[in-house]
Chains A and B, each alone.
Chain A
Amino acid sequence: MKKNPVARLGDTGLYVLTDLGRMAIYLMYAFRGTFRRPFRWKEVVLQINFIGAGSLIVIFFTALSTGMVLGLQGYYSLSKFGAEGMLGSAVALTLIMELGPVLTALMVAGRVGSAMCAEIGIMRISEQIDALDCLAIDPFRYFISPKFLAMLISLPLLTAVFDVVGIIGGYIAGVGLMGVSPGSYIQGMQTSVTNHDIQLGVIKSFVFALLVVWICSARGYFVGEIRGAGFGAKSVSRVTTQAVVFSSISVLVFDYLLTAVLL
């Protein structure tokens, strides 16, 4: 029997509430897993290698092209007011406070979050997570909490790399191609970037790291309980897509909220 729209709305509301509750409990278990012993430091190192070192090339090219575009666009806009000397300041502030944390998080969500979600989803549907439970091994301590910790370490570091490479990209475009004075590029950057700006970028990168690892790993973990995901390989594929979309949107929404609150 087809449900009326009010009933369908109620169903969706209940589902969203259940899902949020499930996600909150998952986050709590993930944090608790970090404090349970013996903690798997080796797994953390492997994950840092996968998330951090493995993403370096992607981050390098994204940062370089973003910085160079900012250099060109910034020069074009600032030259209209005769303020080319402010290029270093504009590029650095944009990258440190905004584009560095956001683009790094989006790239990592696409590259690592999807892989993480698919890996955990496959472990769930092939009963590997049930097997861990039945061996009295806490799956959170064993492999989920190390992913959280590795992401919280790697993403801020990747963001720092992004910022530095992006600023160099801006320098290449602004100074090397458009003829802005090297001194004014660096001087402008030094005088305008404050500790508060850097703190904002660091806070953002920690929050984004948490959002990406939380949403992507939890979607995989709950693959059998996600409405409309179906079963088997298809469910993993759908949930992986959903994880990347949700985490990317969350990063953008929280970017606005954090900017509004902390700026």
Chain B
Amino acid sequence: MATVAIHLLPDDVVLQGRPGEPILDTLRRSGYSHRFGCRRGGCGVCRIDLVEGTTHDNAVVADTVLTPADRAAGVRLSCRAVPDGDVTLRVREDDRLHCVSPILARYVARRSLT
């Protein structure tokens, strides 16, 4: 199965995303998390910034939640954004990537770039 590399800044963690898998699902499957809310694109809490690569949403996200200006500035919702290929994303300053389950992080998908 072809996977994509999801490179998360500033912690420099790389996770392996499955085809069609939203970024938040990859994180959770891999033992990681960041701030999220409804998981269905309605609350806008799981904002994350796209630095490199492209994504598409796996369902409609309302313009009131993510404005065209937000999108143009690279803002994505991790619960809806699916990487088109390898991507680099930056977790926001008021948010953080955290390891919820070290055993999953160790056995599922983690490798550091450094």
User: Do A and B originate from a single complex?
Assistant: no
Taking Cβ atoms with an 8 Å cutoff, the residues of B that contact A are: none
